[in-house]
Amino acid sequence: MPFGGQNSNGGQRKKKIAIIGTSALILVAMVVAVAVGFNRSESDSQSAAPTSPPPSVSTTTKAIQAICQPTDYRETCENSLTSAAGNTSDPKELIKAAFNVAIDHISAAIRNSSTLKELAKDSRTNQALSNCDELLKYAIDDLKESFDRIGPFEYEKLDEYVDDLKIWLSGAITYEQTCLDGFENTTGEAGLRMKAMLRSSQELTSNGLAMVTEISSILASYNLPFNVSRRLLSSEDGDDTELSWLSDGKRRLLQATGKTIKADVVVAKDGSGKYRTVNEALKDIPKKGNKTFVIYIKQGVYKEQVMFAKSMTHVMIIGDGPTKTRITGSLNFIDGVQTFKTATVSVIGSNFIAKDIGFENSAGPQKHQAVALRVQSDMSIFYNCHMDGYQDTLYAHTHRQFYRDCVITGTIDFIFGDSAAVFQNCKMVIRKPLDNQNCIVTAQGRTERREATALVLQNCTITGDPAYLPVKDQNKGYLGRPWKEFSRTIIMNSRIDDVIAPEGWLPWAGDFALNTCFYTEILNRGPGSKLDGRVKWRGIKKVPAQRAVEYTPGRFIRGDWWIKAAGVPYVSGMLNV
């Protein structure tokens, strides 16, 4: 193997090292220029002592002011870091201190929330308080993961780290907001008190996201390739890079069927497996496992509510087909259950895979919010699955998610949440609603402009159930509506049937979020894809085809690293359709 020459591996490695070295220098330069610039005191810069003295108070103050400059809550940022950062002027340590302060504030909110139970006058308020306890612990987990990741901070993986941090911090923001959403239909003062208790926590989490995002901005300002490490992982080092969690011969599990797969546990209603219910099988899942644990669920209808908890990582469930193996439930809002807890199946542990299985909430349109599947699992994959319901069918709640060849049915906001989710080659089917209802496919919930989240539909089909077609002109269908202020949805290379009204998008309430949302349609086809009748909000964007690549799974959720290795059918970039 040659070691010299322009095309040799040695030459390529030198180029990589040069780029990595420059990236590291620029990150270090954040000490001196985050946004407005940071100049060390003259006395410090002239010091020639072999061991430098601790940074002066003025130097630390300047560092705090600089790193807080891009945040939306600068006063909160400066006050919190002044009391928590000590004498450091290292930006990495300041960001870690900011994460710690946010964790402390959320922990205090959890402790103090017990006093709010005295104000709970109804069942929904009690549920909201209980949900907050769970959700805020998830927020703390995401902040702790962010803290741990920024600790070692290997510069050659800078972009990977920033992507992870932005996803986890977006998750923490979403969990805090979901806690507050639970009080929307409650009575009494508990909701107002919780909102006041979480105000500082929300501001601090937002500030952490702003600090991390600024690293990206600095790299971009120097015109450096921000996806250095992801190119090393995918194209330069080959497509067969083996991930630890898909090792030990299970890397191509998604090519198997239930009958041919070697499962760790089998569930069967007829007694031919180890267990008759899915919930019984959960006790066999190793906690925090890093190898894929396979549960084969044989043909049958399983009437149970299932939760794959935070500790259940690297789990795969596989059925005999999405119409043959189905998990179904009927919890719903009208019967008194908060939306967050209506899910038939909830998935929290990371690196979850589902194949050839159906998830259903059978409550019906008259029961309003009734979730079939709620997903918080980071780097989760759903392949050839069905999610069936009416209002709020699929709660794509947080983190990175990929759906391939799936069918999602529903009426109102039937794909909603604040995850970074890409749907590739999926079918969205509008069902017949109640007589007084319109139908909306998506309701994305981004609350912060820096959140790395969106719903992306790529080469999907938006169509109608046969029972809906006769009423489509009366009960109109829309692509989406802005659930939260910075709602973001991208629909590209997809077929849109004539089930979508010419306006395309529906307001949430009055002019809320019409100027701040981000909705775009790119290179779509079909009778419902015509753009001339679309609403004229400021938030409706025209994105050129060459920029659309930013929302493909290879770029938007860094899918080449974790989707491609799993063996699921997958296109990294734009599709030629």
Asked, for residue 177, whether it belongs to a domain, the answer is yes
One domain, residues 165 and 301: no
One domain, residues 214 and 297: no
Asked, for residue 4, whether it belongs to a domain, the answer is no
One domain, residues 356 and 490: yes
| Contact by Cβ (8 Å): 366, 411 | no
Asked, for residue 80, whether it belongs to a domain, the answer is yes
Domain range for 76 is 59-221
One domain, residues 467 and 358: yes
The DSSP secondary-structure symbol of 495 reads E
CATH, residue 543: 2.160.20.10
One domain, residues 471 and 324: yes
Query: Quick one: pLDDT band at residue 91, thresholds 50, 70, 90?
Result: confident
Asked, for residue 462, whether it belongs to a domain, the answer is yes
Number of domains observed in the structure of the chain: 2
Q: Tens digit of pLDDT for each residue in 254-306?
A: 677 878 888 999 999 999 999 999 999 999 999 998 899 999 999 999 999 99
Q: Which of 177, 204, 221 is the last residue of a domain?
A: 221
- Active-site positions? 413
pTM, to two decimals = 0.87
One domain, residues 290 and 407: yes
Query: Which range is least confidently modeled, 205-219, 276-290, 316-330?
Result: 205-219
Q: Tens digit of pLDDT for each residue in 133-164?
A: 999 999 999 999 999 888 665 555 667 788 99
Asked, for residue 13, whether it belongs to a domain, the answer is no
3-state secondary structure 374-439: EECCCCEEEECCEEECCECCEEECCCEEEEECCEEEECEEEEEECCEEEEECCEEEECCCCCCCCE
| Contact by Cβ (8 Å): 423, 559 | no
Asked, for residue 359, whether it belongs to a domain, the answer is yes
| Helix%, strand%, coil% for the chain, nearest 5 | 40, 20, 45
One domain, residues 386 and 448: yes
Asked, for residue 183, whether it belongs to a domain, the answer is yes
One domain, residues 304 and 405: yes
One domain, residues 464 and 555: yes
